[in-house]
Amino acid sequence: MKALVMNCSPVRDGATAEIARIAAKQLAGDFDVKSVCIDDYSFAFCKGCRNCHNTAKCVMTDDIPRIIAEFERADVIVAVSPSYWADIPGQFKAFIDRCTPWCNTHEPHASISRGKKGFVIAQRTGPSMKECERVIGSVEHFYGHLEIECCGHLGLCSVERKDDVLPHIDEIAEFCRGISASL
């Protein structure tokens, strides 16, 4: 089985990237794992033209199809996202907006293969789980419109820097064991 671990932060070497790295390493025993960062790709903001509502295709040409190909390749998708002002980072939100051609909110729509399982790891710098829950809700809402089954989530608080991830390694490992066991 194949797993995609997506760092939804534009920071390639921060705390979120460290969480994604740990998750990928934990999953590597049971999955063929590919790790990507949202910042690995170049794409524009959605223009709101709604052409995709009629054609199931975006009028823009950029890296969005490359990211969708990674989703298509994977059986399991793990989105690892920080909280930026109480929600997902703008870069990840821009990606989600551009996925409208694949969303089940209109006909016709493109689609990715059925049967995919989605997981979320949310991380924030403060001590309250409320922001993590909002991030998790945003990602799970996105998964739902792509018809990816939401199968689990983990929220990590008080994580600002890579060193702050260390106390959470066992939690991340346990979460990943749950991913493997659920399939």
Per-residue pLDDT tens for 29-50? 999 999 999 999 999 999 999 9
> What pLDDT sits at residue 148?
98
Check whether 182 has a pLDDT greater than 90.
no
> What pLDDT sits at residue 122?
98
Per the prediction, the chain carries an average pLDDT of: 96
Average pLDDT over residues 4-12: 97
CA distances from 113 to 71, 116, 117, 118, 174 (A): 9, 7, 11, 13, 28
Check whether 103 has a pLDDT greater than 90.
yes
Give the long-range contacts of residues 161-166, CB within 8 A, separation 24 or more.
161/14, 161/15, 162/13, 162/14, 162/15, 162/17, 162/18, 164/15, 165/15, 165/18, 165/19, 165/22
Q: State what percent of residues in the chain have pLDDT above 90.
A: 98
> What pLDDT sits at residue 9?
97
CA distance 165 to 92: 21
> What pLDDT sits at residue 38?
97
> What pLDDT sits at residue 5?
98
Per-residue pLDDT tens for 165-177? 999 999 999 999 9
pTM value is 0.96
Q: Give the domain range for residue 24.
A: 2-181
Number of domains in the chain: 1
**Residue 153: which CATH number?**
3.40.50.360
pLDDT band at 183 (very low <50, low <70, confident <90, very high): confident
Average pLDDT over residues 122-134: 95
CA distance 158 to 42: 30
pLDDT band at 76 (very low <50, low <70, confident <90, very high): very high
